[in-house]
């Protein structure tokens, strides 16, 4: 069964959404989720001194962009973030940007492993 899981999700070069997730995680300005991150990981037994948001706490996609894989069965900490969206203005027909809340899960580096070397069909890394 393990072999099939690797075929379904090969470790390939970071995809656009992974790179964007990493960029948002590293460059974000909000500190609003820090209390939830610290409380959540400390409840999992991770010492406070080892919890460093934007250094070793990222979303699944951000960890993938960094070449790491969250271990199967790991549970992260839920946080709220804002995602950029667009909607069409019915009067002008132009697309207008807006942000909306979105919940996501973050994982500590201790919940990840280095991604295996991919066996991608049809090309090299």
Domain boundaries, the chain: 2-114
pTM, to two decimals: 0.68
Q: Phi first, then psi: what are they for 3, rounded to 5°?
A: -60, -40
Higher pLDDT, 95 or 120: 95
For residue 88, give every residue at least 6 positions away whose Cβ sits within 8 Å of its Cβ, in sequence order, or none. 94, 95, 96
Predicted confidence band at 29 (pLDDT cuts at 50, 70, 90)?
A: low
Average pLDDT, the chain: 81
Predicted confidence band at 23 (pLDDT cuts at 50, 70, 90)?
A: confident
pLDDT at 17 over 80: no
User: pLDDT digit string (tens) for 63-98?
Assistant: 998 999 999 999 999 998 888 899 999 999 999 999
- Quick one: how far is CA 123 from the chain centroid? 26
Among 18-22, 23-27, 38-42, top mean pLDDT goes to: 38-42
pLDDT for res 12:
52
């Amino acid at each position: 069964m393990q072999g099939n899981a690797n075929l379904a999700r090969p470790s390939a070069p970071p995809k656009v959404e992974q790179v964007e997730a990493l960029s948002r995680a590293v460059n974000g300005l909000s500190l609003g989720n820090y209390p939830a991150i610290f409380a959540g990981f400390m409840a999992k037994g991770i010492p406070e001194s080892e919890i460093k948001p934007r250094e070793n706490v990222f979303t699944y996609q951000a960890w993938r962009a960094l070449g790491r894989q969250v271990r199967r069965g790991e549970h992260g900490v839920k946080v709220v973030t804002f995602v950029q969206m667009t909607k069409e203005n019915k009067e002008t027909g132009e697309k207008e940007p807006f942000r909306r809340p979105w919940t996501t899960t973050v994982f500590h580096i201790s919940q990840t492993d280095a991604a295996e070397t991919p066996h991608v069909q049809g090309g090299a890394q």
